[in-house]
Structure 1
């Protein structure tokens, strides 16, 4: 695994835990929501270069909007 892939995984885990906290859901439940919206492979990983530079509050709101726009209820 490359260094970039490690950073992308760390970033995805960070976002996963922050969202679980914000949404008041378990981590597995939050993962299922992200998976349903294809937010990990379809948004967070491909957008890592730009997204990881954003503040966590903005990022959490952005991913929440993405999930809602893609039909996964939060």
Structure 2
């Protein structure tokens, strides 16, 4: 089970707000700007990794489908 499987979208939104408020409390606008940009960079990297994971999984599934079709063709030729 994934960490996020049991969290509703509403709860996830509330959690994100709480984390943001906690991280920015008592810090200057300049510090918060740097922190926000840093977290945005991390987020972009996480999304890039997830995208490539999905791409590789899709490619593997397509290769498996091709192998299955090739097996079926060989069987039909017999």
TM-score bracket, shorter-length normalisation: 0.3 to 0.5
Larger radius of gyration: 2
* Structure number having the greater helix percentage: 2
RCO (CA 8 Å, sep 6+): is it higher in 1 or 2?
A: 1
TM-score in terms of structure 1 length: 0.36
TM-score, structure 2 length as denominator? 0.35
